[in-house]
């Protein structure tokens, strides 16, 4: 038995068990361990491990700071990021996060996740969290006071672990959502992503490495690209679309991805000398939801709750936000206070997720590209858009947060007289 766990009737006991050592799990683990609780993180893989989701939003920096992980992340020397650039045919636009409406950090990083995630979980360990790698959670018994997990250790042993509270940060594993029947379909369409890492060798003078580049396919509806440069001369490149469209582009995923990239003139030019350094990956049907984000003795964090869509790089921000929001509530509950998980966790977390969802829907139905590419957009409106795209989706002072759908509709309508009207060429 280790020093951080007690043993009762042959079953180990901790204060908080956390499933998954990604950003959501690491943030919650760091916060709770720093508060003096016995925290055990159960992670099925061995770190460092690849993960997709490499472009952060400035709002993340606040959560990293508050959870005591900013210095650990900073030591990674990651690529500086100050905004998002967009291209479609011969149109281009850039959103600068430092010009955002909401207060808070205006810059962030683009990170190879294997390194970033390892730094975060090591930061949580340094604050006192115990992490078991190679340890897979297989079953769960919810209970308001003593929820219990079944797991298989790295050595292949079946074990049980009792906690006073369980946080599920298992990402696409969605462990508790599946085991407790909370998993449900997303309202967003199922899409497919193909991606790789390249040594980018970009020598184009007007290319800005400080921004993610999001491109829209010149003809194909709903197909878009990302280019996320790292600080070491490599970059993450990907394409998103419906599966049938992507599969028509080649015989295997690598061929399909390169073929799709060559169809977009800006990407074709930027990546003309690029050398692929990681096998092509594929993820599909990743948008997922749950009917509830908590239950007796547990709560769902990050992707283990809801995942929307990669287009605005909101995933890690939502993951960190959820860990940052849940951790103090767990601490309060464990010292005997009553916590209303619905009004104090689920509703506030969902408010920001709902904002991002409105933006995602507006992206795919063409309203948001029309707004973004409208060069005549007043500076104040641009600052409100910038704030949401910088991750400040919980700032109700921003009219684009407080009434996202109505405002996006109005802005899209007022953008119809611009040179550029995606309504006639929906993306």
b/e for 163-193, b at 16 or more Cβ within 10 A? bbbbbbbbbbbbbbbebbebbeebebeebbb
* Residue choice 5, 17, 18, 22 for contact with ligand FAD (CB under 6 A): 22
* Residue choice 14, 16, 17, 19 for contact with ligand FAD (CB under 6 A): 19
Contacts with ligand FAD, 383-412, as mask; x by CB under 6 A: ------------------------------
Min separation Cβ 336 and ligand FAD, Å: 29
Position 196 contacts ligand FAD (CB under 6 A): no
Kindly indicate which of the ranges 248-256, 316-324, 367-375, 418-426 contains the residues binding ligand FAD, using the contact rule CB under 6 A.
316-324
Residue count, binding to ligand FAD (CB under 6 A): 39
* Residue choice 316, 339, 360, 388 for contact with ligand FAD (CB under 6 A): 316
Site of tokens 């490499």: 54
Position 24 contacts ligand FAD (CB under 6 A): yes
> Residue 335: exposed, middle, or buried by beta-carbon count in 10 A (0-12, 13-18, 19+)?
exposed
Position 42 contacts ligand FAD (CB under 6 A): yes
Cα separation of 78 and 210, whole Å? 11
Kindly identify the residues of this chain, within the stretch 233-272, that bind ligand FAD according to CB under 6 A. Answer: 238
Kindly indicate which of the ranges 19-27, 84-92, 159-167, 371-379 contains the residues binding ligand FAD, using the contact rule CB under 6 A.
19-27
* Residue choice 29, 163, 319, 390 for contact with ligand FAD (CB under 6 A): 319
Under DSSP, is residue 355 helix (H, G, I), strand (E, B) or coil? helix
Which one, of 86, 88, 312, 309, lies nearest residue 191 by Cα?
309
Position 175 contacts ligand FAD (CB under 6 A): yes
Cα separation of 129 and 28, whole Å? 10
* Residue choice 28, 149, 169, 381 for contact with ligand FAD (CB under 6 A): 169
315-334 helix and 23-34 helix, angle to the nearest 10 degrees: 30
Is the Cβ of residue 202 or residue 319 nearer to ligand FAD in the bound state? 319
Give the ranges where 252-302 is alpha helix by DSSP (H).
253-262, 265-270
First and final CA of the chain: distance in angstroms?
Answer: 57
Which residues does 131 contact at the CB level (< 8 Å), separation at least 6?
21, 29, 40, 41, 43, 121, 124, 125
Position 130 contacts ligand FAD (CB under 6 A): no
Under DSSP, is residue 104 helix (H, G, I), strand (E, B) or coil? coil
Position 193 contacts ligand FAD (CB under 6 A): yes
Dihedral sign computed on CA atoms, order 68, 323, 299, 335:
positive
* Residue choice 112, 147, 215, 302 for contact with ligand FAD (CB under 6 A): 302
Binding site for ligand FAD (CB under 6 A): 19-25, 42-45, 51-56, 136-137, 169-173, 175, 193, 238, 283, 286, 302-304, 307, 310, 313, 315-317, 319
């Amino acid at each position: 038995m280790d020093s951080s766990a007690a043993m009762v009737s042959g079953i180990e006991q901790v204060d908080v068990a956390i499933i998954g050592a990604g950003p959501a799990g690491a943030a919650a683990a760091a916060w709770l361990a720093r508060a003096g609780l016995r925290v055990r993180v159960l992670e099925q893989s061995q770190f460092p491990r690849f993960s997709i989701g490499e472009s952060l939003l400035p709002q993340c920096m606040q959560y990293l700071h508050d959870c005591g992980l900013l210095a650990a992340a900073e030591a990674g020397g990651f690529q500086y990021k100050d905004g998002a650039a967009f291209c479609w045919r011969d149109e281009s636009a850039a959103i600068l996060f430092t010009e955002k409406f909401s207060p808070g950090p205006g810059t962030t990083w683009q990170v190879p996740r294997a390194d970033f995630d390892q730094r975060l979980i090591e930061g949580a360990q340094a604050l006192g969290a115990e992490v078991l790698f190679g340890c897979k959670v297989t079953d769960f018994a919810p209970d308001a006071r003593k929820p219990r997990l079944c797991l298989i250790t790295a050595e292949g042993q079946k074990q049980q672990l009792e906690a006073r509270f369980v946080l599920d940060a298992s990402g696409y594993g969605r462990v508790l959502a599946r085991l407790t029947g909370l998993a449900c379909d997303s309202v967003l369409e199922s899409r497919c992503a193909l991606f790789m890492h390249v040594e980018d060798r970009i020598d184009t003078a007007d290319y800005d490495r400080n921004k993610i580049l999001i491109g829209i396919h010149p003809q194909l509806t709903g197909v878009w690209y990302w280019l996320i440069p790292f600080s070491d001369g490599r970059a993450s490149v990907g394409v998103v679309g419906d599966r049938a469209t992507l599969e028509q582009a080649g015989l295997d995923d690598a061929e399909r991805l390169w073929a799709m990239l060559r169809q977009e003139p800006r990407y074709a030019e930027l990546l003309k000398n690029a050398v692929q350094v990681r096998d092509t990956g594929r993820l599909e049907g990743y948008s997922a939801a749950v009917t509830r984000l908590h239950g007796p003795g547990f709560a769902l964090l990050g992707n283990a709750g809801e995942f929307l869509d990669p287009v605005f790089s909101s995933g890690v921000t939502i993951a960190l936000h959820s860990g940052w929001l849940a951790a103090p509530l767990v601490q309060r509950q464990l010292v005997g206070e009553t916590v209303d998980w619905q009004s104090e966790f689920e509703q506030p977390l969902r408010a920001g997720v709902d904002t991002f969802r409105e933006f995602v829907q507006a992206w795919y139905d063409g309203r948001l590209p029309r707004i973004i590419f409208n060069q005549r957009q007043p500076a104040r409106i641009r600052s409100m858009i910038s704030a949401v795209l910088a991750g400040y989706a919980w700032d109700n002072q921003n009219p684009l947060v407080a009434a996202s759908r109505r405002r996006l509709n109005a802005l899209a309508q007022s953008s119809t007289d611009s040179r550029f009207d995606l309504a006639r060429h929906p993306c």
